[in-house]
Amino acid sequence: MNIISFWCNNAPMENWDDFRFILALDRAVTIRSAAAILGVTHSTVSRRLAVINRRYGKPVFERIASGYRKTELGIELVSAARQMEMLSFSADRRRKASETGLSGPITLSIPDVLGQFLLRDYIADFCHQYPDIRLSVQSSYRFADLDRSEADVVIRSVANPPEHLIGRRLFPYALSYYCQREYLRMTKAEDRCWIAASNPFGPSDWLSKSPFPDAPILMISDDITLRQKMMAQGHGMIRSACYINDPDPEIVRIPKAGSPVPAADFWVLTHPDLKDTPRIKLLMRFLTEALIENQALIEGRTVDS
């Protein structure tokens, strides 16, 4: 018996919603975390798990020290639930793909700084020009899973995006060394410090190649916006994207920084099921043109090194 048949033969149609609870608990491990995923209370998940266990006549999950673990039955049901979930996502994408007008929802996933420092006005213009398209922007540095319908369109700078996605490869953004203009003027070289990403001594070895390789690190943070604002307020130097910093007259490239270093290429991507959907194609073309319009800035060619 295949997994889907197993599920169908063991669950009446009115209980198809069970799969959401089973998946949530499998992914979250604890009742409390599963409740957060589902947007319900801790007690609701506990009661629902008890109902599911009674329905199948044996436990679907067993209690362990760290939370809950699938039983043998649970493994079968989780596998079936995952297949059902993917079928649901596929059906939703195909429904979107069948819509031919320039109206309806689109979820766009972009890095936070790309939205704040480069695409903000373009996104606003798009929304004004096409008011019947309900654009939802997710600011995240995680690559949204388009197979799971976490987004309809993504813009990411990556070396190797998932091969099955459809879209366009553009050009890389560039990185250089920056500080506030007044910080450069007023702070002695021996007193300067870095505001660094979480792994300043990682494979890129950017610190040793910087104009001040011996300067101490004031703070380490994985929050790009925090690092950017601290630098802009005169607390230290950073390595950052040219498109974020070059337009700001109060921010300067550190002398002897050398030529900007290219990072990974930008990609504008969607799921194959959505590639011919008119509103998806429109947004992808609009954003691609916005990036191309700013190519020199993105590649760090608007300022002499």
Kindly list the structural domains of the chain, giving each domain's residue range(s) and its CATH number in brackets, ordered by start.
Answer: 3-97 (1.10.10.10), 100-305 (3.40.190.290)
H helices within the chain, ranges in order?
3-10, 18-28, 31-38, 42-56, 72-97, 112-114, 120-129, 181-186, 224-232, 242-245, 278-293, 295-298
Which residues on adjacent β-strands are paired with residue 241? 175
Spacing of C-alpha 240 from chain mean position: 19
The answer to whether residues 52 and 81 touch, using CB atoms and an 8 Å cutoff, is no
Q: Report the C-alpha gap between 75 and 27 in whole angstroms.
A: 12
Stretches where the chain sits below pLDDT 70 are: 1-16, 199-204, 305
SS3 12: coil
Which residue type is seen at 302? T
pLDDT in the model for residue 84 = 81
- pLDDT for residue 141: 86
Region class of 178: left (phi > 0), else alpha (psi between -120 and 50), else beta: beta
Q: What is the pLDDT of residue 273?
A: 93
> Measuring CA to CA, which residue among 69, 52, 64 is closest to residue 7?
52
pLDDT of residue 202: 54
Q: State the Rg of the chain over Cα.
A: 25
What pLDDT score does 261 carry?
A: 94
